[in-house]
Structures are given as C-alpha cells and as structure tokens.
Amino acid sequence: MGLMLPWTWFFLGYGIIPLSTGTLYDKVWELHRVAELPGGQTQLFIGLHLIHEVTSPQAFAMLKEQSLRVRHPERTVATVDHIVPTTDQGRPLADPLAEAMLSALEKNCADHGLRLYGFDSGRQGIVHVIAPELGLSQPGMTIACGDSHTSTHGAFGAIAFGIGTTQVRDVLASQSLALDKLKVRRISIHGSLAPGVFAKDVALHVIRRLGVKSGVGYAYEFSGSCVAAMAMEERMTLCNMAIEAGARCGYVNPDQVCFDYLRHRPCAPSGAAWRRAVTWWRSLASDGDAVYDDQVTMDAGEIAPTVTWGITPAQAMAVDEIIPAPNQLPPGERPLAQEAYRYMDLQPGEPIAGTPVDVCFIGSCTNGRLSDLRDAALVVKGRQVADGMKAFVVPGSQQVAWAAEEEGLDAVFAQAGFEWRRPGCSMCLAMNPDRLEGRQLSASSSNRNFKGRQGSASGRTLLMSPAMVAAAAISGVVTDVRTLLGNAEDTRTGPVE
Amino acid sequence: MTPAPITLVEGRGIALQGHDIDTDRIIPARFLKSISFAGLGNHVFADDRAATGGCHPFDRPEHQGARMLVVNRNFGCGSSREHAPQALRRWGITAVIGESFAEIFASNCLALGMPCLRGEAGAIGEIQQLIQEQPGVDFCLPLATSTLHGLDRHWPLMMESGPQTMLLSGCWDATGLLLSHGDELRRTALRLPYFHNFASTR
Ligand code: SF4
C-alpha cells in the first residue's frame, strides 16, 4: 500500500531494536522482512511453523528430493488432528491410510528433529487449539501452517495465515516465505452481546454482512469495545472465521486479556523474560493514528444467534428470521442462493427455526475449546437429546478434554445422550470415520457448510454456535437457544455448577 | 534446481460456471488421505461429477485434453489444500482464468507454475460462452501481455506484476531464492526478541 514507515527505536532492556509505526500488521511485517524479491514480493521470516499429517508429507518428500534440511527445527511444531479417529485411538489406527499418514508424520519429525505432540504426549489436539494452549502462539509472531484456519492465532496479535504444501516446504527449508503484503481493514464492533449470543454469532454476522470474498487481499483487524471485552477463546473463534470472509489473516491487538491468558503457559516466557516480553508485546498494538485501507463499524447489540441456511458461511441469518427470498438478495448472489435452496432443500420465505436436524456436532478449531463446551453444557444440563438424534462432542485437544472431565462436563453431556469423544478435527471435515450419511442435515459448531464438507457428497450443514447446536440436539430442530437459557444472567462465562 | 520460465500457455478451454467454488469441491477431503499427490487428477470435482451423472464439464468428451480452465468469482475459496491445484494440474489444466481467486489458492497455483489470470465479468462470460459453443477452439495466452487470443478475438486479462515476473523469469519456485538470503535470514532472526526467548543479552 506504499506506506513509508518512519523508524523509531524501541528500548527492550538488552538493546535497542527498530520499531516501525502504524498498524500491528505493519509493525510485524517490517520486523520480519528479510528481503525484497525480484518479482516484487517480500521474503518474510516465519516465527512459528505448525504442521499436521495432511499437508506436510508431500513437503517433506520435496525436501528430500532437493536434498534440503530443516533450517530451524526448533521453530516447527507438529501434531496429528485431521485423520484421527475419535473413538479408538489405539495403534495401529483401524484405517490403514490414516495409519500411514500418522506414521509418515512420526518418521518425518524424528528424521528432522521436530517436536511432535502425538497421542501419548497428553497435549495432542487440533493444531489451532494446542498451539495457543501451550503458549506457542504469541503476540508479534508470524505464524504459518498448512491449514487455512491458521488465522485463529491472530487472536494473540500475531500475523498468522494458512499456506499450501509447497510453501510448507519453503518454511521448512528457509524459515521464510515469499509473500505479498496485505491491506488492512479495521472491523470495529461496539457494544455488548446479548445473552445467548456468542463469538461464533459475531463471526457469522461479520461474514454475512461483508461476504465471503470481501477479505481477499486484506488482513482483518478486529477491534471495538465488544472485541476488547471478549476472552481469548472468543477472540480465537472470531479470528478463526476471518478466512471464511476471504481474509487470509485476522487479528486482535494484544492487551492485558491476552497477557493474562499466556502467563504460565508451558511455552510462554517466564521470570524477567516475561516482563520484557509484555513490554514488547504492548508496543506492537496498532497506533492510535495508524492508517487503515478500509474501516467498517458494527453494532454488537444488533447481533442475534445466527445460523447458516446455504452452502457458504455468508448465507447466514438470525435464527428468528425467515430464509431470504431471491429478490431480497443482491442480483449477483441470486444464482448461488438458488443453488443453495436446491441443495439444502430449504424454502425461501420459511423460518429456519423448526427445521429438523439429524446430527449434532460440537467441536472443531472454531468451537472445540473449554468455554465452548461450557456454553453448550449449560444448555444441555438436565435435559435429554431428542429421540433419534445423533449428538456428539469432540474436545479440541487432550488438555480441553481433561479440563472438561475435571469439571464434569463429560458427564453432563453423557447423561443428556451425547457421545463424549477423543480429540481431533472429526466431522468438521470428516477425514476420519465421523461423517454424515446421505442427505443428513447437521447442526455443527464448525466453520464450513460447503457442499459435501462433512463426508457425504449430499450431506447438509447448518453452522451455528455450540450453544445453538446444543439447543438443536435437545429440541430435534433448529431452535433459538435464548428460549432454553431462561434468564441466566451472563451465559458466556464460568463453569457449569 | 531452477524451474523453467513460463511464457506461453496454449490449448483448448474448459468453462466451469459458478461463484465461490471451494477447494472441498475441487477435491473432496477423502482424497487427501495419502502421503503423495499422485492420482489426484482422477478425482478432481469427484462429488460434483457424480451428482451430474457424466454431464459435468470435466466429464464431457469434447473437453478432454483442455488446458485452460475458465471460472467465475472467488474460485478456490476455503481450505488451503494444495491438493486442489495439484488435482487440476494432474487432470491437465495449465492455467486458470477467472473473475477472481481466493488468495491461498492463487499462491498455491503459482508455486506449481500454474498462472491465475483475472478478467472482467463480461470478458469471462464471453470466453465461457465461446468454449461452450465451440469447444474445439484453441486459445493462446502469452503471459508477457496477459492477453487471451482465440478465434481472432482478444481479451485483456490481469495478473499482478509479482507472479507475472516470477513466471516469466522462471523463479516461481521460490525455495532457491529464499535460501540464497542466508545472511539476511540470520539478521532478521537476531532482531526478533522472541527468537532468543526475550533473553536480556544476546
Ligand atoms: S477443525 Fe476443521 S477447520 Fe479446524 S483444522 Fe481441523 S479440519 Fe481444519
């Protein structure tokens, strides 16, 4: 964007480092800039590289073909999540293809000296859940992973984005990437969320308002009083979905909420280093006079529990609205809407509430964290899932599972008729045995309602918050969770009693 | 190993209409269960093709051997899986022309030396219509001018100068270039406080 950044100097106790001004994105970009490349791209240093079993094996094969080694083995961290079964995780895995992928990851990590959080580590889980909970994801870092939801880590004030397999090879070989700088759009969300409205609803609302391609070429900075009041897990949900708006990365400026979350995490700095880290992290937040390429403002009070009705995350609506008719949509969106009505077998002009649901899935890197399970458990507690409903909970990580079990959430779910599973991506993308059958309709706390996403070529997905999925499981139909919450004061915090 | 410059793409076209076609549709997740990209070409658009019972453009006999895929808006959105461009490439596609592309998809294509060029909606519509009416037409696309030629007609297309330079100069496979900056890489790492765990001296 041609913004020339003046250099200032920042004193960090051990010396001075150059610090640029502007948005957090500008500052982090400047600090990580290695070189300008002939094609006009920038070579950017990558601070943290996360890998998993699906998008890395071909990268290691390319490395071998080209006789390259891993430049910074200490900066790549691996886990297994996409293909893992959520019932029996004994080795060898029942699916030979899944076992081959896991074995390949283990071998590649051993060959190159990379840290792998496998089943027996006690820390395995979805890559975007474990890196934050280990304290690996930190403000001011550049974070890359062969997975589009890497935007999640932007919640910490990092520049985090998904990459393809050839780029995974580039990071392994050089700890850097050739990239084009993005523009920055500030999305300010002001006010507070009503009871029964969650970060997932905010994310779906933003995508619905701005569309699935508005973010192409942009990083989204989420700010405003609503975002400032969010806990880290809520910010992760919001940044996770930035990619569904087309934005390769989303971020929130680091603040005390972020530092409090990171404090005492296994991989976070400690002692004197912690104090130096916090000083540096604070200095990275966007300056008051930073220049944005675009700004959008939204009112949190307008956001209702939101649910998708179509085949992209932008085809979303408040749960108490009626499915939009073609003439209520911009002309450019009408063909896709027609395709969606047909595929979803939903009628414009009808309410979405009351639509019968076959499968309820709570989990994924969007909503598989402890607070998500608490939100859902609050709805489920003392109730029973509807007859014939298949309902299951897949914690985002082993740490989440143990913390939830410690609080008794597993029992709350089990007593209501939910299955309590082992951690993994599960039916978010159905590369494991958890999948829809035929035309089944799922209420899902994951992030993509694309055709065929949940393992059946004709399967259908309604995206919503974990609490809304819980409400659907209990009622058997799409239900406004607010009708089940009674007058619970603040539904967004605290363990279930 | 330096990749070869890519200056010209030639061949017949294949049109695929629709906005927001995601990478889950280009290659469904179940085909990702492999430690190599081999064989992906057979499964490109597997579910869409099964659902249309042989009428999908990728199934029609007249489009077999086509090289240029012509699509609409936000093609390749969703998952970052490089399996999507790999599957298209292994089916035979060597360039993608569309109204717009998702970012990760476009950069994955570039990493394979497969250019993604953008065109105005009107131009894309004309090209798609021509392909449907006369599937045998041969197109020619010199990357230096970003202009598509076919049947004595010309459509100006757009490509960012970065990717264009990289393709034309043969440095679209970035690894060698990235590795050539060893000193700069070291210097950058040294100025990042977290690289030393925020140690007080270095
Ligand atoms: S939970 Fe879903 S979106 Fe997240 S990393 Fe796994 S497959 Fe991708």
Instruction: Give B155→chain A minimum CA distance, Å.
Output: 23
Task: Please answer yes or no on whether B47 and A452 come within 8 Å at the CB atom.
Answer: yes
Tell me the per-residue pLDDT of B77-97, one tens digit each, with 9 for 90 and over.
999 999 999 999 999 999 999
Is the pLDDT at B149 greater than 60? The verdict is yes
**Chain B residues touching residue A37 (CB < 8 angstroms):** 162, 171, 174, 177
3-state secondary structure A103-172: HHHHHHHHHHCCEEECHHHCCCECHHHHHHHHCCCCCCCEEEECCHHHHHHHHHCCEEEECCHHHHHHHH
The answer to the question of residue A358 being in a domain is: yes
Arithmetic mean of pLDDT, B122-147: 97
Q: Is A364 in the pocket of ligand 1 (CB under 6 A)?
A: yes
pLDDT at position B162 is 85
**Chain A residues touching residue B169 (CB < 8 angstroms):** 38-39
Task: Please answer yes or no on whether A280 and B198 come within 8 Å at the CB atom.
Answer: yes
**497 residues of chain A, pLDDT tens digit each:** 334 343 444 444 444 454 567 999 999 999 999 999 987 899 999 999 999 999 999 999 999 999 999 999 999 999 999 999 999 999 999 999 999 999 999 999 999 999 999 999 999 999 999 999 999 999 999 999 999 999 999 999 999 999 999 999 999 999 999 999 999 999 999 999 999 999 999 999 999 999 998 999 999 999 999 999 999 999 999 999 999 999 999 999 999 999 999 999 999 999 999 999 999 999 999 999 999 999 999 999 999 999 999 999 999 999 999 999 999 999 989 999 999 999 999 999 999 999 999 999 999 999 999 999 999 999 999 999 999 999 999 999 999 999 999 999 999 999 999 999 999 999 999 999 999 999 999 999 999 999 999 999 999 999 999 999 999 999 999 999 999 997 544 444 455 54
Radius of gyration of chain B (CA): 19
Are residue A239 and residue A149 in the same domain, yes or no? yes
Contacts 24+ apart (CB under 8 A), B84-87: B84/B23, B84/B26, B84/B27, B84/B108, B85/A164, B85/B109, B85/B112, B85/B114, B86/B27, B86/B37, B86/B40, B86/B112, B87/B26, B87/B27, B87/B31, B87/B40, B87/B41, B87/B43, B87/B44
* Residue in A58, A97, A170 nearest the CB of B175: A170
| Ligand 1 atom, smallest distance to A396 CA | 1
Task: Please answer yes or no on whether B199 and A273 come within 8 Å at the CB atom.
Answer: yes
* Spacing, Cα A447 to ligand 1 middle (Å): 8
Radius of gyration of chain A (CA): 22
Instruction: Give B157→chain A minimum CA distance, Å.
Output: 18
The angle that helices A370-380 and A232-240 make with each other, rounded to 10 degrees, is: 100
Are residue A230 and residue A82 in the same domain, yes or no? yes
Tell me how far apart the alpha carbons of residues B191 and A400 are, in angstroms, rounded to a whole number: 35
- Of A81, A84, A394, A426, the one to substitute when testing ligand 1's pocket (max ligand atoms within 8 A of C-beta) is A81
Task: Please answer yes or no on whether A39 and B169 come within 8 Å at the CB atom.
Answer: yes
Residue A275 CA, chain-centre distance (Å), reads 28
Q: Where are the alpha helices (DSSP H) in A37-95?
A: 57-65
Arithmetic mean of pLDDT, B5-23: 96
The answer to the question of residue A494 being in a domain is: no
If 0-12 CB within 10 Å is exposed, 13-18 middle and 19+ buried, where does residue B126 land? Answer: middle
Q: Is A237 in the pocket of ligand 1 (CB under 6 A)?
A: no
* Residue in B30, B48, B173 nearest the CB of A431: B30
Tell me how far apart the alpha carbons of residues A46 and A76 are, in angstroms, rounded to a whole number: 10
Mean per-residue pLDDT over chain B, rounded: 94
How does DSSP classify residue B158?
B
CB atoms within 10 A of CB A12: 16
Taking the Cβ of residue A213 and every Cβ of chain B, the question of whether any pair is shorter than 8 Å is answered with: yes
Task: Please answer yes or no on whether B82 and A248 come within 8 Å at the CB atom.
Answer: no
Nearest to A483 by CA among A389, A358, A354: A354
Report ipTM (2 d.p.): 0.91
End-to-end C-alpha distance for chain B, whole angstroms: 36
Nearest to A199 by CA among A428, A375, A391: A375
Tell me how far apart the alpha carbons of residues B107 and A70 are, in angstroms, rounded to a whole number: 22
Q: Hey, is A177 helix, strand or coil?
A: strand
> Atom 4, ligand 1: which residue's CA is nearest?
A365
pLDDT at position A40 is 84
Q: Give the type of residue at B128.
A: Q
Are residue A290 and residue A381 in the same domain, yes or no? no
CB atoms within 10 A of CB B122: 10
CB atoms within 10 A of CB A319: 24
The answer to the question of residue A75 being in a domain is: yes
| Ligand 1 atom, smallest distance to A128 CA | 5
If 0-12 CB within 10 Å is exposed, 13-18 middle and 19+ buried, where does residue A274 land? Answer: middle
The answer to the question of residue A10 being in a domain is: no
Over the range A18-33, which residues count as b (16 or more CB within 10 Å of their CB) and which as e?
ebbbbbbbbbbbbbbb
The answer to the question of residue A489 being in a domain is: no
Q: Hey, is B145 helix, strand or coil?
A: coil
| Residue B148: strand pairing partners | B155
* Spacing, Cα B120 to ligand 1 middle (Å): 34
Task: Please answer yes or no on whether A140 and B194 come within 8 Å at the CB atom.
Answer: yes
Are residue A333 and residue A287 in the same domain, yes or no? no
Are residue A453 and residue A384 in the same domain, yes or no? yes
Tell me how far apart the alpha carbons of residues A228 and B67 are, in angstroms, rounded to a whole number: 50
Tell me how far apart the alpha carbons of residues A373 and A363 are, in angstroms, rounded to a whole number: 8
Instruction: Compare all CA atoms of chain A with the CA of B162 and give the residue at the minimum distance.
Output: A39
| Residue A250: strand pairing partners | A220
Q: Are strands B116-118 and B138-142 parallel, antiparallel or unpaired?
A: unpaired
Are residue A286 and residue A400 in the same domain, yes or no? no
Task: Please answer yes or no on whether A280 and B193 come within 8 Å at the CB atom.
Answer: yes
For chain B, what is the total number of helices (H) and then of strands (E)? Answer: 8, 7
Task: Please answer yes or no on whether B79 and A429 come within 8 Å at the CB atom.
Answer: yes
Q: Could you tell me the strand order of the sheet in which A218-223 lies?
A: A249-251, A218-223, A183-190, A294-299
Residue B28 CA, chain-centre distance (Å), reads 17
- Cα dihedral A359, A360, A363, A368, rounded to 10, equals 180
pLDDT at position A377 is 98
Quote the tokens at residue A296: 């959008």
* Spacing, Cα A129 to ligand 1 middle (Å): 10
Q: Hey, is A254 helix, strand or coil?
A: coil
The answer to the question of residue A428 being in a domain is: yes
pTM of the full predicted structure? 0.93
- Could you give the number of structural domains in chain A? 2
B8-172: CATH architecture: Alpha-Beta Barrel (3.20)
Of the three residues A272, A297, A322, the one that is the final residue of a domain is A297
Task: Please answer yes or no on whether B193 and A276 come within 8 Å at the CB atom.
Answer: yes
Domain containing residue A146: CATH number: 3.30.499.10
Q: Give the type of residue at A388.
A: G
- Cα dihedral A12, A18, A21, A22, rounded to 10, equals -100
pLDDT at position B200 is 72
The answer to the question of residue A13 being in a domain is: no
Q: Hey, is A251 helix, strand or coil?
A: strand
**Chain B residues touching residue A170 (CB < 8 angstroms):** 174-175, 178
Q: Is A241 in the pocket of ligand 1 (CB under 6 A)?
A: no
Residues 368-427 of A with CB under 8 A from B: none
* A/B interface, count of CB pairs below 8 Å: 228
Sequence-distant (≥ 6) Cβ neighbours of residue A249 within 8 angstroms? A25, A150, A151, A154, A159, A160, A161, A182, A219, A220, A239, A242
Residue to test with chain A: of B35, B49, B72, most A Cβ within 10 A: B35
Domain span at residue A416?
A: 306-483
Of the three residues A244, A279, A297, the one that is the final residue of a domain is A297
Q: Is A428 in the pocket of ligand 1 (CB under 6 A)?
A: yes
Nearest to A468 by CA among A230, A238, A305: A305
Tell me how far apart the alpha carbons of residues B49 and A474 are, in angstroms, rounded to a whole number: 37
Task: Please answer yes or no on whether B194 and A277 come within 8 Å at the CB atom.
Answer: yes
**Chain B residues touching residue A45 (CB < 8 angstroms):** 185, 188-189, 192
Tell me how far apart the alpha carbons of residues B60 and A375 are, in angstroms, rounded to a whole number: 50
Q: Are strands A42-45 and A48-51 parallel, antiparallel or unpaired?
A: unpaired
Residue B171 pLDDT level (bands cut at 50, 70, 90):
confident
**CA distances (Å), A343 to each of A156, A266, A457, in order?**
38, 46, 11
CB atoms within 10 A of CB A115: 16
Of the three residues A235, A263, A297, the one that is the final residue of a domain is A297
Sequence-distant (≥ 6) Cβ neighbours of residue A422 within 8 angstroms? A84, A85, A86, A87, A89, A394, A395, A401
Tell me how far apart the alpha carbons of residues B184 and A266 are, in angstroms, rounded to a whole number: 31
* Residue in B36, B74, B201 nearest the CB of A246: B74
The answer to the question of residue A118 being in a domain is: yes
Instruction: Give B19→chain A minimum CA distance, Å.
Output: 7
* Residue in B29, B173, B195 nearest the CB of A431: B29
Task: Please answer yes or no on whether B178 and A39 come within 8 Å at the CB atom.
Answer: no
> Atom 2, ligand 1: which residue's CA is nearest?
A428
Residues 24-43 of A with CB under 8 A from B: 31-35, 37-41, 43
If 0-12 CB within 10 Å is exposed, 13-18 middle and 19+ buried, where does residue A281 land? Answer: buried
